[in-house]
Structure 1
Amino acid sequence: MNTHSKPSSQFSLLGQRRFAPFFWTQFLGAANDNISKFALTVMVTYQLQLHWLPPAQAGLVIAALFILPFVLFSATSGQLADKYEKSRLMRFVKSFEIAIMAVALWGFWQGQVAVLLACVFMMGMHSTLFGPVKFAYLPQQLNEQEITGGNGMVEMGTFVAIILGNLLGGLLIALPEVGALYTGIACLGVAVLGRLAAQFVPHSPAPDPALRINWNPFTETWRNLRLARENIVVFRSLLGISWMWFFGVVFLANFPTFAKEVLHGNEHVASLLLVVFSVGVGVGALLCELLSRRHVEIGLVPMGAIGMTAFAVDLYFASRGLAPSGLQSVPVFLSQAAHWRVLIDLGLLALFTGLYSVPMYALIQLRSQPSHRARIIAANNILNALFMVASSLLAGILLGAGFTVPEVFLAAGIANAAMALYITLLMPEYLLRFIAFIASRLVYRFKLRGDENIPTQGAAVLVCNHVSFVDAVLLMAASPRPICFLMDHRIFAQPVLGWLFRLAKAIPIASQKDDPATYERAFAQARQVLAEGDLVCIFPEGGITRDGELQPFKGGVMKLLEGQPQLPVVPLALQNLWGSFFSRVERGEAMVKPFRRGLFSRVGLVAGTPLKAGEVTLERLRGEIAGLLRT
């Protein structure tokens, strides 16, 4: 993991060599994809009459040719990205783009549509080769606190590039007489700029240089999926991202028809819908760093899914019953209040799509094994392509069966709710992080200090004072990784919290005197978690404080550390929770007076410098936490 110090914001990454050349390389590549594709679509639709490629089919054929290489060559591209140094691969791919665009220049100039279709296929291959390199490069150069912001910048840049590429391609190809030539020159020029940017991408060593390439795409695709399935959270996140593309394509592919037949707008209104959607995704992607406080916050995924469904459903209601009219220009379209609701729904739907996707990309990058990270991302690209094709086919079937476009949008929103529920049930970590996210931002104003002391990799024991019934929830919000909690077995009897902690796979523990078997079993399970390289948290006071003071520590923490002298032990101190609804302040009882301190009361967590287990004593550990409570 990269250990660069974190910048002041995600935008400051654009001033650093480890990110800026890479960002502009991928930005220019995405723009060039869309300049060439959109210009070719306009050329075939408006300027040429081809009996073998009817205008109504041009967009579908071009999209299919671009996606096909993702299915055929993603498995090979993932292997290449794991085997070879990444800046070298980027430069090769961008040189390949120059060659493609040199041919495309001739194709545009001469009006050779067959040649341009071949170039679309080759640009799909260019993007197929670049995708695994792109997403495997980020975790090599950015640390855990930067990777959400970095992914947000890439997502934002990609959608801005889509907008600019479509606008530039449409404007250039429409120029009388010289439009095709100027389009070809622009494509070649953007490719050259991308190659120049790639020249400054820093060295990123190959994670598996001894890898032997398997050139069979079918067997390698299956092997990549098996690699992904080794980490079930990663694999299900791949499916979650692919579902996002399934959902998004329903809207993107139907904007022209939606604009013309439902909104009664001209082709510029269809472009406006694309701009609103792209800006929405970009804004949502950028918001991820702010909302996640620089960590990979997968609690945003359920929030994103809720917003996607809510605004897809409202888009259906907003677009019903619009008065028929002739095709309207953008100014006329915007002069009607009913249309603003449609645009707001579309923009917010896209914003929540950005919130949904960025944390999942970051999670995959962080939790995939570095030696085959690019191959897992390649498997994701294959799944994305298959889901997009399936989405287009299913939407086409629904439209052919008599569904209107708004009804297809409604079906997508309902299906998204069902899928979100299914994913949440399969992956409780998403739900737990969402609950922790809400608790730490809405119930409390939660301030975290010393978060760099909470390990992002490897086993460690977290030791914390115990103030309330929601201590574990706040610790979940503070940690970039799942935590396995050793918790008093009596808390599992609480109606809601008990269910939550069972979902979190917390380990129930009883005192050795009351239940020796449960006591021994709890420590055996906790040691197994540590052996697997994960985090364990223990509350050494043995119960929730009844007077707000730090209680004497019991010996269980020392039992957990036995025989592991190098194991990191991180002291943690929860501050200002005493007196809240979830602490024992009413005759020793908690949860008696709702809103005792109102909403948004200030609480905090301070993480101290890790200690080595071999240096820890109960007295020292208690002293460390007492000192943190006073800071």
Structure 2
Amino acid sequence: MLLTKRFLPYFVTQCLGALNDNIYKNVLLLLVTYSQVSELPISVNMFVNLAAGVFILPFFLFSAHAGMVADNMDKAMLIRRLKLLELIIMSCAAVAILSQSYLVMLLLLFMMGSQSAYFGPVKYSLLPQTLKESELVTGNAWVEMGTFISILVGTLSAGLIVASDHSVIGAATIVVTLSVIGYLCSRAIPALPPQGKIDKIRFTPLSGTWQSIAKVRKTPGIWMAILAISWFWFLGATYLTQFPNFAKLHLHADATVVSLLLALFSIGIAVGSWICERVSYGHVELGVLPFGVLGLTVFGVDLIYAIPPAPADLSFVYSFSSFISDSQHYRVMADLFMVGLSGGLFIVPLYAFIQSRAAKDECAQAIAANNIINALFMVVAAILSIILLGVLEWSIPDLFLLLAAMNTVVALYVYSQVPEFAQRFISYLLSHFMYRVKVNGRIHIPAQGAGVIVCNHVSYVDALIIMGSSTRPIRFVMDKSISEIPLLKYLFRHAGVIPICSPKQCKATYENAFEQIHHALNNEELVCIFPEGRLSVDGDIAEFRPGVERILERDPVTVIPMSLSGLWGSYFSHKGGHALTTRPKRFWSKVEVNIGEAVDGVTLGRHGLHQNVSELFNASLKSDDITKA
């Protein structure tokens, strides 16, 4: 995928853009922090935080319009125009650098932010249009890796440029050269026709912003994913902005060490993105998010306690070589790397989740809404830093400690609002730590539209295993007694489980279940039923009950046959006694989920569906990895 024409030109273009942004921004900040303090009309702290706000303010102002444009215009043509604009801005920036006009450079930073605000929606909404669904996480991982490796190279280069004898000429030449190369690369991006249907797009910065936010708030999952991503950028922007003064005041280091800290953070995010792609197994996997959340808190707190004591000679300043040769700095470096790695685990699945759940003709607008909220959070981050550091006179370590504490609160809020995130985590733990789950035929699950999944019923955790095999949410029809198991009922209830029981037990529950199924299918949802009506008592597939025919008679939707193998004999199955009552005997055993091609359930009837599921089940039993025992 990386070397294909549909991805590589775009990938190189966006990497060069990120590289150029970071060289320019960091050169400006380093020059101000270390070289030109006396020439500024405001304090260094104020200038640094103002620069952060100036760069991201355009995302808040222009992202809504940018999303509309990206959805309703050829994305390749839009990228080329934006790269040409970058070339013009950077040519002006070169003149400002040569004349050392720092306030003009600040104005041009705002213009670069504006160009980036228009590039952001097309950058991410392009991926679901040019990549297969199974490539979406991989594509996002490459984009995040490329972006933060570009940040790495940009930050290292900025430090080297500022430390050189020809810093001004070098910076001016590099930003223009990268703009030219980026524009040439953009010309190789294949045409990507617009997916929206709006002919005339109005430029309404304020009302458009609120409308964009209101639209995504109608989909709670996407909205919470946006809030989670925005929180990461709140945290990340604060770290990145404060690194120069953190290194200068608390690590007693020079500009080259600032670049090292930024590099460790960026490498960490790139490595975390790569790990996320590896552990997601080819599909959008929200189950890895809690690992990222935990890392952001644990390593964020440890970073504070890792700060070494000040050197005996307060006039001594660490250079790059002396800093890395002193072992007392290793813990600081490791913590920064792990904070970045945790961030990579955190944001890659969230971006892929938004792309996979947003409507095709509104994907760029969803990304634009994400950028708006990102910008809002980063503006708040800059304001908070100014207040805490400037007005209340907090130290930078105090600010970092507050971020780590707030991270836990934000995570608890997001998970309480979107139970699917917690369910995916439980499913991931089951699928990759308690069991080794292999999924065959995931492509047969329809990307959109109503459908009924029919599957054999082996254990109490069947629903959680099946949930992890699908990137789409699934409504499960489940025996009422199973849905009320104390340890699992919270997850089942918030997963929208539809409880059912025999009409002899409760006629109202039985009839209400079919009404809920009908409503779900009319709402274009996936519904999974276990037509056997109860857990297997011998590991084999029992006769299917007529309930599935009643469902399809009323709503003749697509049926996806599915089988589970390897769960018979687990702690959650009835082998050797009632489930959950025997001593666990199996750990990390192999489980296989086989998903067959969609069929016409009305024509096949319950007996035909039983045969399809049985064939999938028997095929898995014949493999070397799965045995009935």
Q: Same fold (TM over 0.5)?
A: yes
Please give the per-residue CA displacement for 1:234-270, whole angstroms capped at 9, x wherever unaligned. Answer: 1121111111111222322222232233333333222
The residue that corresponds to 2:625 in the other structure is none
Correspondence for 1:525 among 506, 516, 525: 516
Correspondence for 1:585 among 575, 578, 584: 575
The residue that corresponds to 1:291 in the other structure is 279
TM-score using structure 1 length = 0.93
- Given the superposition, is the C-alpha separation of residues 46 and 250 from structure 1 closer, same or farther in structure 2, using an over 3 Å criterion? closer
Q: Give distance in 2, aligned partners of 1:117 and 1:558.
A: 68
Q: Give distance in 2, aligned partners of 1:249 and 1:25.
A: 23
TM-aligned CA deviation for residue 114 of structure 1: 4.2
Correspondence for 2:88 among 86, 99, 119: 99
Please give the per-residue CA displacement for 1:570-617, whole angstroms capped at 9, x wherever unaligned. Answer: 111111111111110123x012334311x2111111111110233322
Conserved? CA contact 2:483–2:497, under 8 Å: no
TM-aligned CA deviation for residue 151 of structure 1: 0.9
Conserved? CA contact 1:105–1:187, under 8 Å: yes
Amino acid at match of 1:142: L
The residue that corresponds to 1:5 in the other structure is none
Deviates more, 1:394-403 or 1:551-560: 394-403
The residue that corresponds to 2:398 in the other structure is 407
Deviates more, 1:46-55 or 1:613-622: 46-55
Please give the per-residue CA displacement for 1:317-375, whole angstroms capped at 9, x wherever unaligned. Answer: 32375765532233333334442222222211211111111111111112122222222
RMSD: 1.9
The residue that corresponds to 1:496 in the other structure is 487
Deviates more, 1:390-399 or 1:608-617: 390-399
The residue that corresponds to 2:217 in the other structure is 229
Conserved? CA contact 2:159–2:255, under 8 Å: no
Correspondence for 1:315 among 278, 303, 311: 303
TM-aligned CA deviation for residue 22 of structure 1: 0.7
Amino acid at match of 2:434: V
Conserved? CA contact 1:586–1:592, under 8 Å: no
- Given the superposition, is the C-alpha separation of residues 130 and 613 from structure 1 closer, same or farther in structure 2, using an over 3 Å criterion? same
TM-aligned CA deviation for residue 520 of structure 1: 1.4
The residue that corresponds to 2:141 in the other structure is 152
Please give the per-residue CA displacement for 1:35-82, whole angstroms capped at 9, x wherever unaligned. Answer: 222223344445555243555544334323222222222222122112
Correspondence for 1:118 among 107, 111, 116: 107
> Could you tell me the percent identity over the aligned residues?
41
- Given the superposition, is the C-alpha separation of residues 592 and 452 from structure 1 closer, same or farther in structure 2, using an over 3 Å criterion? same
The residue that corresponds to 2:622 in the other structure is none
Structure 1 residue runs of 5 or longer lacking an equivalent are: 1-12
- Secondary structure of 1:593's counterpart equals coil
- For the pair 1:630 / 2:593, whether they are aligned, the reply is no
Conserved? CA contact 1:564–1:613, under 8 Å: no
The residue that corresponds to 1:136 in the other structure is 125
- For the pair 1:422 / 2:413, whether they are aligned, the reply is yes
TM-score using structure 2 length = 0.94
The residue that corresponds to 1:574 in the other structure is 564
Deviates more, 1:519-528 or 1:406-415: 406-415
The residue that corresponds to 2:385 in the other structure is 395
Amino acid at match of 2:419: P
Q: Give distance in 1, aligned partners of 2:262 and 2:547.
A: 59
The residue that corresponds to 1:3 in the other structure is none
Q: Give distance in 1, aligned partners of 2:238 and 2:89.
A: 30
- Given the superposition, is the C-alpha separation of residues 441 and 371 from structure 1 closer, same or farther in structure 2, using an over 3 Å criterion? same
- Given the superposition, is the C-alpha separation of residues 175 and 361 from structure 1 closer, same or farther in structure 2, using an over 3 Å criterion? same
Correspondence for 1:448 among 420, 435, 439: 439
Correspondence for 1:373 among 363, 380, 384: 363
- For the pair 1:434 / 2:422, whether they are aligned, the reply is no
Deviates more, 1:15-24 or 1:385-394: 385-394
TM-aligned CA deviation for residue 496 of structure 1: 0.4
Correspondence for 1:165 among 154, 162, 166: 154
Deviates more, 1:484-493 or 1:166-175: 166-175
Amino acid at match of 1:366: S
TM-aligned CA deviation for residue 385 of structure 1: 1.3
Q: Give distance in 2, aligned partners of 1:534 and 1:570.
A: 13
Show the 5 A alignment for 1:457-472: 457-472=448-463
Q: Give distance in 1, aligned partners of 2:242 and 2:102.
A: 24
- Given the superposition, is the C-alpha separation of residues 94 and 149 from structure 1 closer, same or farther in structure 2, using an over 3 Å criterion? same
The residue that corresponds to 1:85 in the other structure is 74
Amino acid at match of 1:459: A
Q: Give distance in 1, aligned partners of 2:312 and 2:356.
A: 51
- For the pair 1:344 / 2:368, whether they are aligned, the reply is no
TM-aligned CA deviation for residue 444 of structure 1: 0.5
Amino acid at match of 2:571: F
Q: Give distance in 2, aligned partners of 1:625 and 1:354.
A: 39
Amino acid at match of 1:348: M
Conserved? CA contact 2:244–2:255, under 8 Å: yes
Amino acid at match of 2:384: L
- For the pair 1:33 / 2:24, whether they are aligned, the reply is no
Q: Give distance in 2, aligned partners of 1:314 and 1:420.
A: 19
Conserved? CA contact 1:320–1:406, under 8 Å: no
Q: Give distance in 2, aligned partners of 1:433 and 1:540.
A: 24
Q: Give distance in 1, aligned partners of 2:161 and 2:484.
A: 68
- Given the superposition, is the C-alpha separation of residues 322 and 569 from structure 1 closer, same or farther in structure 2, using an over 3 Å criterion? farther
Q: How many residues align?
A: 615
- Secondary structure of 2:39's counterpart equals coil
Conserved? CA contact 1:311–1:348, under 8 Å: yes
